Structure 1
Amino acid sequence: MRDIIEQAINNRQVLEFNYSGRLRIVEPHVLGTNNGILQFLGYQIAGSSNTGVVPDWRRFDVSRITALTTTNNSFAGPRPFPSGKHSAWDHTIAIVK
């Protein structure tokens, strides 16, 4: 799963997956660890969310993702990153350029 996310970040490919029982369609921007947990930061462009706010930035625990696939859709490049808790990483593995 890590390899799929990393490749999607490097190729600017939109991801589709289930998370917390909800379909998410996301532009992945950063893959890394936070407190030793593998996570990625993405801009959710479609699907549903527990907060009901879409589009918006989301941080996902990779271990909680199911049915992960890359789509045939790409995105133009990085969006301005949010501040606060979404920007803190122990170690970054991949960042969209």
Structure 2
Amino acid sequence: MKVMEAKDKKILCQAIESHHQIECIYHGKKRLLEPYLYGILGGKEHLHCYQFGGESESGGLPQWRNLRLDDIKHLRIIPHSHFDIRSSYHPENAHYHSIEKGINV
């Protein structure tokens, strides 16, 4: 069973709290993301984020995404980045069973 490392969860929490953009590898593709929350969706830990750059398997960027935490690799905060909360962000629309960490609106 793959699990996101504690150090990466700490980085993710820092990015959510400070509204910093992140970069990671997900399913072998580089993703540029604005992290909004992480929690339980469909019984697994997921990140609810806005992908604004990089690559995607399904195309269609920019786009809201739910990424499985255990599939996120090489996570880092993008230096000197900051994002404003998007008007299209509504945490209740993500349908998470529980939220571990998230941006309050």
Measured against the shorter chain, the TM-score band is 0.7 to 0.9
Could you say which residue in structure 2 is the equivalent of 1:4? 11
Change (3 A) 1:82 1:7: same
Counterpart in the other structure of 1:29:
36
Partner of 2:64: 57
Cα offset, 1:83, TM superposition: 8.7
TM-score, normalized by length of structure 1? 0.88
Instruction: Pick closer, same or farther for the CA change 1:12–1:39 going to 2, 3 Å.
Output: same
Q: What is the identity, as a one-letter code, of the residue corresponding to 2:28? A: G
**What is the rounded CA distance, in whole Å, between the counterparts of 1:90 and 1:57 in structure 2?**
18
Q: Which runs of 4+ in 1 moved over 6 A?
A: none
Taking the aligned partners of 2:86 and 2:101, their CA distance within structure 1 comes to 12
Offset, 1:78: 4.0
TM-score normalised according to structure 2 size: 0.82
The separation in 2 between residues aligned to 1:78 and 1:38, in whole angstroms, is: 23
Deviations 1:45-78 (A, max 9, x none): 1001011111101101010011110012110124
Gaps of 5+ in 1: none
Q: Which amino acid is the alignment partner of residue 4 of structure 1?
A: I
More strand as a share of residues: 1
Preserved contact between residue 81 and residue 87 of structure 1 (Cα < 8 Å): no
CA distance in 2, matches of 1:57, 1:46: 11
**Does the residue aligned with 1:23 lie in a helix, a strand or coil?**
strand
Instruction: Report whether the alignment pairs 1:39 with 2:46.
Output: yes
Give the count of matched residue pairs: 96
